[in-house]
Amino acid sequence: MTTTEVRGPVTYNPYAYGMHEDPYPTYARLRAEAPVYRSDEFDFWALSRHEDVLSAFRNVDAYSNSYGVSLDPSAFSSEAYRTMSFLALDPPKHTRMRSLAGKGFTPTKVNAMEDRIREITLEHLEPALERGTFDFIEDFAGKVPMDVISEMMGVPVVDRAELRRLADLVLHRDDGVYDVPPEGMAAALELVVYYQSMVDERRKSRTDDMTSALLDAEIDGDRLTDEEIIAFLFLMVVAGNETTTKLLGNAWYWGWRNPDERAKPFADPGRVADWAEETLRYDTSSQMLLRVARRPIELHGTTIAEGERVLLLVGSANRDESVFADADRYDLDRDTTKLVSFGSGRHFCMGAPLARMEARIALHELVTRVAEYDIDAAGIERVHSINVRGLAALPTTVVMR
């Protein structure tokens, strides 16, 4: 006699620590059973299928960013642009802000950083490798992206560790607390005060950095205000730095969990880009982003009313079986061109080229020096955040070539 498992309706709570450990089985059920999922507890809808998430990214007429991209009550506000910059703006304000901010973050400026990114990578990697055993996040992955973006901004070396600590606090969520905890609010304020001071200094005396470039950015007489510059710097350190740190940690972790796939870039360093891209698809740093319906939206027989909140589950979209065959398998040989980890359309991530360059350089320097590595599973710690997925501690032992 056989029994059939009876399951209740699927539930999705982005704050739950259990969800942070492994959201993917829930995502699979959402795609199959509730592609337009409703949470009355947290007052949101959630889209989990690739085609729906991609369409929402591209349809700025139906989906608004004007209240930010976070579900947290303290972050969901018409004032969200003060800390999220153009992530919390719709056209035409978004177009203006992104165009002006882009003057300080051009592809030329990013490409010019390649040699310096490699130097920063080795500054942290070589001492860690010499010790043989180290924490991949604390000693390497958490330091490189912060140093890179801080150097671009003009942040002094002595301040960078503290800014990373503050950025971590902004993203952390306490178990059972459904908002930014007090420590996170205080950290956000400290970051804003720090950047105001830096902007004040650059206004008096320009240097060769992004902050000065933002002060000088101009289109037809239009310039950024101090408030807009500070918001952009805040976005870069919290969103840009943290997601790249998580990308590196996730790549290292999933390489360890999948030795046959890990062997590919270790045998051929030219495959490190494939390693990074499959990690972006399989376990992306940015798991979900918020939108608000600008008008009634009909989807899969359900109506989302104007003004209601909609979560775009990026992590789920990247595991959609209709787009990625055998989607739950970590496979460096697959086509990842349809991943949505950096969004799409007008809100495509401005920092994507920098993140990809950092990941490629960091992983390349690792595979050309390390023969094999192991991770102490007992020491692994996961980040607890509703938007960002990654590891807080990843104790590693390496064997050198």
Per-residue pLDDT tens digits for 334-371: 999 999 999 999 889 988 999 999 999 999 999 999 99
pLDDT digits (tens, 9 = 90+) for 288-321: 999 999 999 999 999 999 999 999 999 999 999 9
Closest alpha carbon to 24 in 243, 353, 250, 220: 250
Confidence tier at 84 by pLDDT (50, 70, 90): confident
CA-to-CA distance for 392 and 168, rounded, in angstroms? 9
CA-to-CA distance for 400 and 366, rounded, in angstroms? 10
Per-position b or e across 83-101, b if 16+ CB within 10 A of its CB: bbbbbbbbeeebebbbebb
| Average pLDDT value for the chain | 92
Q: Which of 16-25, 99-108, 206-215 has the lowest mean pLDDT?
A: 99-108
| pLDDT value for 384 | 87
Contact 361, 247 (CB under 8 A): no
Instruction: Answer yes or no: is 40 within a domain.
Output: yes
Return the amino acid letter for 134.
F
Instruction: Answer yes or no: is 51 within a domain.
Output: yes
Structure tokens at 120: 């920063």
Instruction: Answer yes or no: is 26 within a domain.
Output: no
What integer is the mean pLDDT of 226-230? 91
Closest alpha carbon to 255 in 101, 103, 363, 139: 363
**Better-scored residue on pLDDT, 351 or 268:** 268
Instruction: Answer yes or no: is 207 within a domain.
Output: yes
Task: Report the share of the chain in percent with pLDDT over 70.
Answer: 98
Instruction: Answer yes or no: is 117 within a domain.
Output: yes
pLDDT at 108 over 90: no
Instruction: Answer yes or no: is 357 within a domain.
Output: yes
Give the other-Cβ count within 10 Å of 176's Cβ. Answer: 8
Q: Which of 51-60, 165-174, 188-197, 309-318 has the lowest mean pLDDT?
A: 165-174
CA-to-CA distance for 381 and 138, rounded, in angstroms? 11
Contact 168, 385 (CB under 8 A): no
Instruction: Answer yes or no: is 9 within a domain.
Output: no
What integer is the mean pLDDT of 238-251? 88
Q: Which phi and psi angles does 253 have, rounded to 5°?
A: -65, -50
| pLDDT value for 272 | 98
Domain that holds residue 63: 34-400
Q: What is the tally of structural domains in the chain?
A: 1
Q: Which of 2-6, 39-43, 152-156 has the lowest mean pLDDT?
A: 2-6
Confidence tier at 100 by pLDDT (50, 70, 90): confident
* C-alpha distances out from residue 66 to 97, 116, 186, 226, 289, Å: 13, 36, 24, 20, 12
To which H or E segment does residue 32 belong?
helix 24-33
CATH code of the domain covering residue 266: 1.10.630.10
Closest alpha carbon to 42 in 386, 389, 293: 386
For strands 63-64 and 44-47, give the pairing.
unpaired
Instruction: Answer yes or no: is 6 within a domain.
Output: no
Which residues fall within 8 angstroms of residue 146, CB to CB, at 6 or more apart? Answer: 160, 161, 163, 164, 167, 237, 241, 245
